[in-house]
Structure 1
Amino acid sequence: MYRIAAIALLTLILFTTGCQKEEASNIHSPDAVQVPDSQEIYYISPQGNDLNNGTIQSPWKTLQHAADHATPGSTVYLREGVYHQKVKITRSGNSPGNPTLFSSYPQEKAIIDGEGLSVRGIEGLIEVENASYIAIQNLEIRNFTTTLRGQVPTGIYVHGAGEHIQILGNIVHSIANDAKPSGPDLRGRDAHGIAIYGTEHPQSLRDIIIKDNELYDLVLGSSESLAVNGNVDTFAILDNTIHDTDNIGIDLIGYEGTSEDDNYDQARNGIVRGNEIYNVSSNLNPSYGTPLPNDSNSAGGIYVDGGKNHIIDHNRVYRNDIGIEIASEHARRSTSNITLQDNLIFHNRLTGIAMGGYDEERGSTVDSTMMYNTLVQNDSLGTGNGQLFMQANTKNNTFKRNILVSGSSDVLIYNEYTSNSGNVFDHNVYYSPGPQDEALWVWKNNQYSGFKAYMKDSGNDAHSRYVNPDFIDEDNQNFSLTTDSPAEGYGYQGSR
């Protein structure tokens, strides 16, 4: 069920890790960059001087001096301390196996602190522009903020074109735009934790790995915690933790004009695997309306907006407004060929999985597959959006081998659009903790009470079951199945 479009990325990860697993879904993510014994090493210290020679005894002072003067393919170690600096990296490393590495010195903590620094347009505390073979590792990046509309502070910002960029093991927090949004669309208030923007064409940003980072305490306005936008081809977002932000956790974006050529303006061929995303909500975000809380409930843990050919698997997504959304906000543009598999999605407020355009004038979700996911007591607001919320223009998608357990609304699937077509539902497990005849499905704007009525009249789920899946310890969020569970072979069951 994995698509050919992702083969290049899987090859990249296998090469990086030396993994020999037979199944694609068991591929492990890359370890930290290893420094070859022969590699040239430079040092920076808050007490250093850029007139020094950059040795451990005589370190430089600024990241920018190191970025401009270190030999390509060398390692730049930041000694412990706080650096009130920005840096723009424009010189490439040597090769995928010999990148230029910027890292905290082993067993020490280097902090890049943006307090008091100005923000000009979209700008990163650490920025990589039109460069290749760069690794950024084990840094704390914080306190880059503005109160000005139209300025976009970003923790790590990679843009232009290039290849083999690795962002590994960093902590990014307290990045904020606190401006008052303006206009009918409440625009002008934006920030990112990590942003990957492919702005060129036909050259893309490609072979990007974002792994083991933690992003939190982000004030994002209309933007996202971790965004991959525009002409970005072949990337992996692995084992990151994202929490306590006021907009989307991970967003894979197309058709926003990031790349001027529409043929390339689409994030594609990505893997989003093993991430934990929680406490993401737009309800205290004035870009979604005031007074606060605005009860917008619009921020997804993972969102694909116009992307294509992505694998999203083994993620744990909970206590967000929306768990995972695969949709398109752009008329006549589709999110397509998404494999959503082996995810655990629970206790999200509006719904577990949302798909399709949010009205008939938007884009579509097509040719996508959702299998082996477990969705438990989402729709925690009780508003009736259910565990799966099908919006407009969903076509030729497959939904199989999933477990759905309803929340207080008893709604399992909500689909009000009669125009949705070609979608296949079968071999799923459904359950509502209340009486069986109170379990609800809304299909093409018809409401069905009870599984038999839904199955008979909708034509869906001929081989599905209505049964308690019997989780090991639902109260403590252990949604593994007991050894004698009637849902064995369905839903999220860890690595396959």
Structure 2
Amino acid sequence: MLIVFGFTDSTHDKAIYVATNGNDQNDGTKSKPFRTLKKAVSEARAGTIVYIKEGTYKEKLIVRHSGTKLKPITFKAYNQDKVVLSGDDVKNVEGDTSLVSIDNKNYITISGLIIQELTTNLTNETVIGMYVTGSSSHIRLENNVVRKIETHAEDGNAHGIAIYGTGPMKDVHIINNTIEDLKLGWSESLVLNGNVDGFTIENNIVRRNDNIGIDLIGFEGISNDPKADYVRNGIVKNNEVYEISSYGNPAYGEEYNAGGVYVDGGKNITIDKNTIYNCDIGIEATSEHAKQYADNIQITDNIVYNNHYTGISIGGYDENRGGTINSSITKNIIYRNDTKGLAGGQLLLQHDIKNNVIERNILTAGPSRIFIANFFTTNQDNVLSRNVFHKEKGKTGLWVWKEEEFTSFQEFKRASTSDSQSSYLDPMFENETTYDFTLKKESPAKSIIE
């Protein structure tokens, strides 16, 4: 990008520079940069790009002004410099504390920053790496690293990235970020909650965190408009999520409850082509609130393996929760989950699920040998079709349907009215030991699932 006299391309007509050796009495040019983010933020109006030069900035970035559709505001690491926003010097105070804050602002991009080392010992303080709230829209968070955001309170909360739509929020893009090494208490690594309509979460790495990886939430009273209090109309695609577990988190103790990707009351959401492994639950879609639902959730083409409790779960975990409706689980590889032997199997079908389609998946049993675990009788009008259950030499399979166990695949099909095209055979993966789940040319599964 060519910069001439502090001006830039057609979307940004002004450039501001910040450097650790700058001075806020300077004019903010490349040769005379500002010293603080606070000064740059105060000067950054619509059409400004703020270039942050290499170094550690022990201050918050609180966005003060909105951009416009034609003239957004961008805060960006200069020339891919290593730019660190550190919370080392931030004191514990009750309420929400974040290193990057966007509140009721529009057309904002944050790009290429490392956001780290914000901690609290207070139960009533929630620490957050990047926080977007109010009616903020047209927000883009890209190429950032968020790490070591930690609550040390026994009953505390922390987030890596939190998008809270208290007012109407739309057009949120979270792309190519790394969110890692977080201590979250009751909260989540990357969360969208409340009145959020239209979003993309794509190409992120979420790893080594002690609660939920990616969470899309509704019906928690976040939105000012109760009728719009749920996340909707978005896609979660091409993310890699691993080592997400609540085990050892003081809020959960010795429970394996954390989902890699979790839809809790969202609607019209696609979860596509993600790779999720070594979590407690790979993918989960339901609602924790009775008589509310995860609705029209499309779970497709994901690779879900080696998770502790189950691979993919739908429905409420008890009869006081909501459920999952009008959704589909299609063309996923669900491989050797339930590694802790917790009876979640590969596919966990729980309370209040109806009008869902489960088709063309390949399921390989884990140590518990359970393919499908359905310990509730409240499932209605769900269709199982053209799934492949991996038959392994010398190993038997187990299916649980409406509380009844089946060791015979044919008896399970009759009980579940599963389509006659579902099969119990070896799908012939290219190389299971390296988790290459490409099907060999001669695979008999191809004609079933394609």
TM-score (norm 2): 0.95
Contact 1:330 1:362 in 2 (8 A): yes
Contact 1:197–1:230 (8 Å) recurs in 2: yes
Query: Which digits, 9 at most, give the CA deviation of each residue in 1:52-97, with x for residues without a partner?
Result: 11011111111122112123221000010000001211311121x5
> Against the structure 1 CA distance between its residues 353 and 35, is the aligned structure 2 distance closer, same or farther, given a 3 Å change threshold?
farther
Misfit runs of 4+, over 2 Å: 34-39, 432-436
Aligned-pair distance for 1:434?
Answer: 5.0
CA distance in 2, matches of 1:489, 1:70: 57
CA offsets per residue over residues 184-220 of structure 1, 9 Å max, x none?
A: xxxxx000000000012xxx11001100000100000
1:102 counterpart residue number: 75
Q: Give yes or no for contact 1:406–1:433 (8 Å, CA) kept in 2.
A: no
Match of 2:274 among 297, 300, 315: 315
Does residue 19 of structure 2 align to residue 45 of structure 1? yes
Residue 407 (structure 2) pairs with residue 443 (structure 1): no
Amino acid at match of 1:341: T
Quote the residue 2:158 is aligned against: 191
When structure 1 is superposed on structure 2, of 381-390 and 323-332 the one drifting more is: 381-390
Give 1:382 shift: 2.1
Structure 2 residue 235 is matched with structure 1 residue 261: no
Deviation at residue 37 of structure 1 after TM alignment: 8.1
SS at match of 1:43: strand
Q: How far does residue 177 in structure 1 lie from its aligned partner after superposition? A: 0.6
**Residue 332 (1) aligns with residue 291 (2):** yes
Correspondence for 2:186 among 218, 222, 247: 222
Q: Which amino acid aligns with 1:162?
A: S
Corresponding position: 1:83 with 2:57:
yes
Deviation at 1:261, TM superposition (A): 2.3
Counterpart of 2:3?
Answer: none
Partner of 1:24: none
Query: 1:408 deviation in Å?
Result: 1.6
Q: Cα offset for 1:369? A: 0.8
Letter in 2 for 1:91: H
Q: Secondary structure at the match of 1:199?
A: strand
**Distance in 2 of aligned mates of 1:417 and 1:85:** 51
Structure 2 CA distance for aligned equivalents of residues 371 and 37 of structure 1: 41
1:410 touches 1:434 (CA, 8 Å); kept in 2?
A: no
- The corresponding residue for 2:307 is 348
Determine the C-alpha separation between the residues in 2 that align with 1:473 and 1:119: 50
Decide whether aligned partners of structure 1 residues 462 and 469 sit closer, same or farther in structure 2, where only a CA change above 3 A counts: same
2:100 to 126, 135, 147: 126
Displacement after TM superposition at 1:229 (Å): 0.3
Contact persistence 2:421–2:448 (CA under 8 A) = no
Please give the residue correspondences for 1:240-319 in structure 2 after superposition, counting only pairs within 5 Å.
240-289=204-253, 294=254, 296-319=255-278
Alignment CA distance shift 1:63-1:313 (3 Å):
same
Residue 467 of structure 1 aligns with an amino acid whose one-letter code is: L
Change (3 A) 1:165 1:38: closer
Percent identity reads: 42
Pick the structure with more strand per residue.
2
Shift of 1:42: 0.3
Structure having greater relative contact order (Cα 8 Å, sep ≥ 6): 1
Match for residue 195 of structure 2? Answer: 231
The answer for unaligned runs of 5 or more in structure 1 is: 1-33, 182-188
- Residue number in structure 1 paired with 2:415: 457
**Is the counterpart of residue 371 in structure 1 residue 338 in structure 2?**
no
Equivalent in the alignment of 1:414: 373
* Structure-2 separation of matches of 1:161 and 1:490: 46
Q: Matches of 1:348 and 1:79 in 2, distance apart? A: 40
Partner Cα separation in structure 1 for residue 38 and residue 46 of structure 2: 14
Q: Deviations for 1:91-119, whole angstroms, at most 9, x for unmatched residues?
A: 11121x53100000013111101112025
Q: CA deviation at 1:383?
A: 2.7
For residue 130 of structure 2, what is the aligned residue in structure 1?
A: 156
Aligned in 2, Cα 1:52/1:358: closer, same or farther, shift over 3 Å? same
Q: Deviation string for 1:437-495 (max 9, x for gaps)?
A: x211100011111211211233223221111111111001111111111111666x9xx
User: d(CA) in 2 for partners of 1:415 and 1:39?
Assistant: 59
TM-superposition CA deviations, 1:220-253 (whole Å, max 9, x none):
0000000000000100000000000000000000
50-59 vs 205-214, which deviates more? 50-59
Match for 2:305: what amino acid?
A: F
Q: Secondary structure at the match of 2:148?
A: strand
Q: Secondary structure at the match of 2:153?
A: coil
Q: CA RMSD in A?
A: 1.5
Match of 2:150 among 171, 176, 193: 176
Contact 1:145 1:175 survives alignment (8 Å): yes
Deviation at 1:410, TM superposition (A): 1.2
How much does 1:48 deviate?
1.4
Q: Tell me, what secondary structure is at the counterpart of 1:380?
A: coil
Aligned partners of 1:76 and 1:332: how far apart in 2? 47
C-alpha contact (below 8 Å) 2:11/2:71 kept by paired residues: no
Tell me the amino acid that sits aligned with residue 44 of structure 1.
Answer: V
Aligned residues: 442
Q: Distance in 1 between matches of 2:279 and 2:154?
A: 24
